[in-house]
Amino acid sequence: MPKKYFRKFLPDHETIRQSRWIRPFGIWLHHPNLWHLHRRSVAGGVAVGMFCGLIPGPFQMIGAAILSVLFHVNLPVAMFTTLYTNPFTIVPLYVLAYEFGAFVTGQHEGLQAARFALPEMSWDNWHTVLLDWIISLGKPFAVGLPLLAVSLAIVGYFVVRVLWYAMVVWEWRRRAARRRKIL
């Protein structure tokens, strides 16, 4: 049922192939798994999106697109999944990454709210200010962020696979019950 619902929003393979924006990328974006909705491709897209959602700065969707092409997983799902990080969720996720890294490294210096407050940024210095801020969080954050990203990717992958399987079994049973009523 969800596959049929989402399929009406996705373009067909020939439309993608003829797009003037995608045509220059040649065979890179023509792999069928990048656009088809099946359990492996969607689960992989969610995993890539969960991983890339924790990339600092505005590079989340670019990272999701690159990893989707490399791993041949659903590109729109991966890019959409990165949106779980937003201005409301990024700081709690970074705090969680810091705590995760502090637990793993054993360097728990005590969480200071001031360390997680984003500094003043402007359009011309945002990248250096953001990089300095991330470096100031130290080793616990540097270790915790990739570990959290990998953990979220693994959990996202298996949650989608289990939910997909449960939906298929539910549809089978519903169809079987309908057939029993007809007979």
Residue 95: CB partners within 8 Å, gap ≥ 6? 111, 116
Two tokens, residue 131: 């990089």
3-state secondary structure 96-118: HHHHHHHHHHCCCCCCCHHHHCC
On average, the pLDDT of the chain sits at 82
The 10 Å CB-count burial string (b at 16+, else e) for 109-141 is: eeeeeebeeeeeeeeeeeeeebeebeeebbebb
φ, ψ dihedrals at 76, nearest 5°: -60, -40
- 141-174 pLDDT, tens per residue? 889 999 999 999 999 999 999 999 999 999 999 9
C-alpha Rg value of the chain to the nearest Å: 21
What is the spatial distance between Cα 11 and Cα 176, in angstroms, rounded to a whole number? 32
User: How many domains is the chain partitioned into structurally?
Assistant: 1
What is the spatial distance between Cα 94 and Cα 80, in angstroms, rounded to a whole number? 20
Asked if 53 and 85 touch (Cβ cutoff 8 Å), the reply is yes
- 49-84 pLDDT, tens per residue? 999 999 877 789 889 989 999 999 998 899 999 999
Domain with 80 in it: 2-182
